[in-house]
């Protein structure tokens, strides 16, 4: 019988909220009827900490959180391809207004595509015989190595890609003057990192929660579930402490992803019914 190593024991927190911070619903925005698969705040530029973006279907939309719970639409990007793209990541967050404008998009054709959102150019396509063999579910940039990304998919694999060899194409995408469709998009074959293939087979429950998010300093995490509820946990304690359990009578659709603002004062959730919910911390004064 397998034994748990010392220091690896699971820590179970209480489901009774400590109410160290209370939140209330300040807005519900119905973006459409198609599921929203991703939502993320900008953590890169302090001028735009209140800017976030959602992604669902063939559209990415940028919003701004204003005072009084107001959500203002800033810009929307629509792809002519009507396929469902499950996730879009713009350098940790969506950075349309920032100095870096690379975008990673996950496609149902089992590929990951790197785009320049200012020029509309598809720079690189990560695929090949050793690539994902099913839909790609998530992708992220390396926090310190700008040339590496990691992706995971429904084929139960996690793959690490390198674009160092193709970085000249990224630079060229900013100065390209011809039509975006004429750009020499490059295919990146897998494996692209030291000829290694990394496999990972996660053990998931059928009723698994939606993807969670944290504030910038990882003080708290917001986890959504299939019942439309959000659990906010304090991460700097052991075992973790439940700060608040967020629910609303009209929020019944499965939550695909949550997003916490830079300081954790605002929590967003994007749902399978196409709705965006905004929760703001209640002042204790």
Q: What is the pLDDT of residue 206?
A: 45
Q: How many domains does the chain have?
A: 1
Instruction: Calculate what percentage of the chain has a pLDDT beyond 90.
Output: 32
Q: What are phi and psi of 48, to 5 degrees?
A: -125, 35
Across the range 101-119, mean pLDDT stands at 72
Number of neighbours of residue 71 by Cβ within 10 angstroms: 16
The model's pTM: 0.64
Q: Is residue 262 part of a domain?
A: yes
Lowest mean pLDDT among 8-12, 63-67, 162-166: 8-12
d(CA 41, CA 138): 17
Q: Is residue 18 part of a domain?
A: no
Q: Is pLDDT of 228 > 80?
A: yes
CATH number of the domain enclosing 273: 2.130.10.10
Identify the CA nearest to 91 among candidates 36, 47, 148.
Answer: 148
Q: Is residue 140 part of a domain?
A: yes
Q: Is residue 60 part of a domain?
A: yes
Q: What is the pLDDT of residue 96?
A: 35
d(CA 228, CA 143): 31
Domain span including residue 113: 23-281
Q: Is residue 246 part of a domain?
A: yes
Q: Is residue 168 part of a domain?
A: yes
User: Which of the pair, 274 or 105, is modelled with greater confidence?
Assistant: 274
Q: Is residue 16 part of a domain?
A: no
Q: Is residue 8 part of a domain?
A: no
């Amino acid at each position: 019988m397998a034994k748990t190593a010392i220091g690896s024991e699971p820590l179970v927190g209480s489901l009774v909220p400590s109410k160290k911070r209370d939140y209330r619903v300040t807005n519900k925005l119905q973006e459409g009827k198609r599921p929203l698969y991703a939502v993320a705040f900008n953590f890169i530029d302090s001028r735009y900490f209140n800017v976030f973006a959602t992604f669902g279907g063939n559209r990415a939309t940028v919003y701004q959180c204003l005072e009084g719970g107001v959500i203002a639409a800033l810009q929307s990007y629509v792809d002519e391809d009507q396929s469902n793209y499950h996730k879009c990541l713009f350098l940790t967050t969506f950075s349309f207004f920032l100095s870096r404008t690379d975008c990673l998009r996950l496609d149902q054709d089992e590929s990951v595509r790197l785009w320049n959102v200012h020029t509309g150019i598809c720079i690189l396509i990560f695929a090949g015989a050793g690539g994902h063999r099913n839909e790609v579910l998530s992708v992220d940039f390396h926090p310190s190595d700008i040339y590496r990304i990691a992706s995971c998919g429904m084929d139960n694999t996690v793959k690490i890609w390198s674009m160092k060899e193709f970085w000249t194409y990224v630079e060229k995408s900013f100065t390209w003057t011809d039509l975006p469709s004429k750009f020499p998009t490059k295919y990146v074959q897998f494996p692209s990192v030291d000829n290694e293939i990394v496999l990972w087979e996660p053990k998931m429950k059928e009723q698994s929660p939606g993807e969670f998010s944290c504030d910038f300093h990882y003080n708290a995490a917001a986890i959504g579930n299939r019942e439309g509820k959000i659990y906010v946990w304090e991460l700097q304690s052991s075992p973790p402490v439940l700060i608040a359990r967020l629910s609303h009578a009209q929020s019944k659709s499965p939550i695909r992803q949550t997003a916490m603002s830079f300081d954790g004062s605002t929590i967003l959730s994007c749902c399978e019914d196409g709705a965006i919910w905004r929760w703001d911390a209640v002042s204790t004064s």
